[in-house]
Chains A and B, each alone.
Chain A
Amino acid sequence: MRPTESIAMSLANDAPRFRAGVILALFVMVAAPALLVIYQSVLDAPFFDDNVRFSLDAFRFVLTDPEFYRALWTTTLYAFGMVVVAVPLGGLLAFLITRTDLKGRKWLEPIVLVPMFLSSIVLAFGYTVSVGPSGFVTIAFKSLFGAAPWSIYTLPGIILIGGLSHVPTVYLYVASAMRRLPSDLEEAARTAGAGIWRVSLDVTLPMVLPALVFSAALNLLLGFETFGIPLVLGDPNGILVLTTYIYKVNTIFGAPTYQVMAAVTVFLILITLPLVFIQRRLLRHARRFAAVGGKGARTNLLRLGSTGQAVALGLIGLWLLVSVFFPVGGIVLRAFVENWGEGVRLTEQLTLANFKAVFEIPSLSRGILNTILLAGVGGAIAVAFYLLVGLAGHRNRGRSGTLLDYSVLIPRALPGLIVGLTFFWLFLFVPFLIPLRATLISLLIAYIIVGLSYGLRIIQSTLLQVAPELEESARITGASVYRSWRDVVIPLVRPGLAGAWAMIMIVFLREYATGVYLMSSGTEVIGSLMVSLLTSGAMDQIAALSFISIALTAVGLTLALRLGAKLHD
């Protein structure tokens, strides 16, 4: 006889009410924006309008607009181009740093990750002021060689810069797969007679292939959702991707056309949602692959030899020059000068005027304060929220666990710009939310949703490090499930929570897209201010804000390392 499932509740389904409550609340928070977008897309006016009716006009407009098709095509090219640039480079970097005796690989690793911690709007601006048509590097190059044979305001330029800025993401996944690779697999091939390069090709590469494929899928998704780089670099030549198309729709019509924005978003979700699901499957597959091996002390690093060292270091140096030094250096320089050009000595132009202006304009100085508040205090609140969600999902094999799984996926398919927009709508018209719109709380809620999948992954992996027996022994000793969380789980994960807080802080510091629509007078944040300043062309202030953003990120990163945060998992 097969017993019914009804009494087959296991220990995992303790605290069912807490779990169901938290997970349902989360589901509402993530589903509301997605559903609102879909609803708005089939209306003929803003959904709060009195005379609103169902209509497919928005889709009709979008599908007959050549600009939309151009943007769709550009986005596709951008996403795939980014993968083509980022995946081989990231894989190669991971191989050189984890598998060879490359000199200085210990201190190269954190530097390699720098582009990941900067917001892409800051990066893009950095490229404008360094290698743009009148950038420092371009001018210096012109004065030396007479001409600068590049233009970053073209699609290939944008793709290249987008790809370079995503190398760290690939690097992280591939490097951790290479580190997990048990050395006995390679040693077995060595003893069977394969040379060291042969082993890399025949054993190492196939073993890290799942990680490569996964990071390709991830970058494809990030490519479709990209906003900052095309916004800054594509604008001068009118190159639009889907997100910037959504952003520019208002200027085309001259008035808010929410239904058109929503319709384009629906198309975007149709692309990103399948990508999210593919990624999820790939990740499971990659984990299964990785679970095969145990841990082995890696004694055999590939010897590069002096020529190899020179080539590898040269390659990495070039990448660092272009990916880190140009944008960051450009911003640092630009923040302290007002005039430059051919024949101008920059040393005579150094000034603090840009910063003075920033601190004199109330909205900008408020923005800096708000950003720090949102990242610091908001980050802590976010971690507390993620911890609640993490506990609700902790060793939860019930139905609510599945709902949680899917809830986490939804925001990944929505770019920050859209999450911000829909929360703006919600805070504009849901009665009990209206008073919160002009406060930082509205931004914080949107930020929590945007950071959900990253934040929850950190918390979940921290929670999983607590051995189940430690919780079980508390239960046996007489503690309820809540007591066992309070007395055992949370004290044990506390160091991990501090690290998670620092990492979330960095994520919130660099966020720029979410606040574009959501911020209002009094709730400005640095990133979104930069987006709106771009329209007015206030480059001096953008430069100063970018510099401040980099400085804050550096502080956050130092804090994260101090608190023992792992930059990768």
Chain B
Amino acid sequence: MTELVVDNVEKWLGGLKILSGASFTAEKGRIVALLGASGSGKTTLLRCIAGLEQPEIGRIVIGGKTVLDGEAGVALPPEAREIGLVFQSYALWPHRTVFENVAYGLRLRKRPAAEIKTRVETILDKLGLAHLAARYPDQLSGGQQQRVAICRALVYEPKVLLLDEPLSNLDAKLREEARFWIRKLILELGICAIMVTHDQGEALAIADHVLLLKGGSIVQDGTPLQIYGQPTSFYAADFMGTNNVLSGAFEPQSDGGAVIRCEGWSLPGIWRDAEPPRDASDIRAVVRVETIMVSSEPTATSQPLDVEGCIYLGDKWEYRLRRGSVRLRAQGASELSSDVAHCTVQPASTWLFNP
């Protein structure tokens, strides 16, 4: 069931367009990630859904209710939108206990005291916070504060849960745990959730659907597998993962394949861009670092490259390779002993795009 419709939302700040016609829908029991670099408009989009920013153009429907319609002049205030928002800073009210923070939404909805007590206790218990109910926010750790913020946003059963960089204030270990339990919790509750993040790992791990934003518009949307494995633009390909980027000329092949020619190298690849080549003399190839195979012995498809250096990363080694002015990064399990390494760049992993 579609819980959220965002239709052609535009937001201006003075003469500057921050959102240019973003559209997407989100379903119950699914998690959508708004992924993008800083300045891509992802937080603005989230705040528009929440009603904290007012877009000039567009339509937003939450749970079947139109909360924003630029043409009809409808713009419901945030409190009338039936949403929950987990702020990046958690924004727990420092003058209230954990219990009071969580209970506030129910009090505003005039629920009977007994019901408030059971519902707050139930959700605190579910997130392992029951013993902290009487504490004040400043007496909690960062991870506990985050869980209180999530309880507060969920307890009154909003139609849509919004999460603004929910993991960015946690340390690395906690973050990996949180990825897992937040996803599990949302799927269990069967709620529609929208998460903003700049961290692709986070988006891929938590979301069912990822929207990649750039300059206020959505450049690609799809499942995590599609976003990482089938990018349709150079920006999307380069934004995700760790990459080698090569510039060169495009040479179509008679068998339908394509080759990029750069610095006396020609690499066969696949044309992945949604559009045909605009300028055949200037295209880009994106090769994910982990797809390059490196061996000390030549193979049928390998090319010899000079080894510039090896960097130990703990769980693996990174190789810095070079041929002419072309530099490549690759990975392997052990340090390279010789000055020359033999690399295989597979055509299926060599994605070609317009720049």
Contacts and interface: CB of A to CB of B under 8 A. Distances in A.
Interface of A: 2-4, 7-11, 14, 467, 469-470, 472-481, 483, 487-488, 491-492
A478 B78 CA distance: 7
Interface residues of B, number: 34
A476 B10 contact: no
Contacts of A487: 104
Contacts, number: 91
A11 B44 CA distance: 13
Interface string B1-28: 0000000001010010000000000000
Contacts of B89: 467, 469
Interface in B224-262: none
30 contacts: A2-B12, A3-B10, A4-B56, A7-B73, A8-B56, A9-B54, A10-B53, A10-B54, A11-B52, A467-B89, A469-B87, A469-B88, A472-B87, A473-B85, A473-B91, A474-B93, A475-B51, A476-B51, A476-B52, A476-B78, A476-B83, A476-B153, A478-B79, A478-B156, A479-B104, A481-B77, A483-B79, A488-B93, A491-B95, A492-B93
Contacts of A3: 10, 12, 56-57, 70
Contacts of B104: 474, 477, 479, 487
Nearest to A5: B56
Sorted from nearest, which 8 A-B pairs have the closest CB atoms? A469-B91, A3-B56, A478-B108, A477-B105, A475-B78, A473-B91, A476-B85, A469-B87
B52 A483 contact: no
B75 A9 contact: yes
Interface string B137-169: 000000000000000110010000000000000
Q: Say whether chain B's binding surface is mostly helix, strand, loop, or mixed.
A: loop
A477 B152 contact: yes
Given A477-B156, A478-B79, A488-B93, A483 B56 contact: no
A161 B165 CA distance: 59
Given A478-B105, A487-B104, A472 B52 contact: yes
Most buried by B among A10, A473, A478, A483: A473
B189 to A, nearest CB: 17
Contacts of B81: 476
A473 B94 CA distance: 12
Contacts of A479: 79, 104, 108
A467 B92 CA distance: 10
A105 to B, nearest CB: 32
A473 B51 CA distance: 11
Interface of B: 10, 12, 15, 50-54, 56-57, 70, 73, 75, 77-79, 81, 83-85, 87-89, 91, 93-95, 104-105, 108-109, 152-153, 156
Nearest to A471: B91
Contacts of B10: 3
B94 A492 contact: yes
B161 to A, nearest CB: 11
A478 B91 contact: no
A288 to B, nearest CB: 19
Contacts of A467: 89, 91
A11 B87 contact: no
A363 B94 CA distance: 49
Contacts of B57: 3
A480 B85 contact: no
A522 B126 CA distance: 67
Contact of A475 (B12, B79, B109): B79
A480 B77 contact: yes
A472 B91 contact: yes
B38 to A, nearest CB: 18
B57 to A, nearest CB: 6
A470 B52 contact: no
Contacts of B105: 477-478
A482 B53 CA distance: 18
Contacts of B12: 2-3, 8
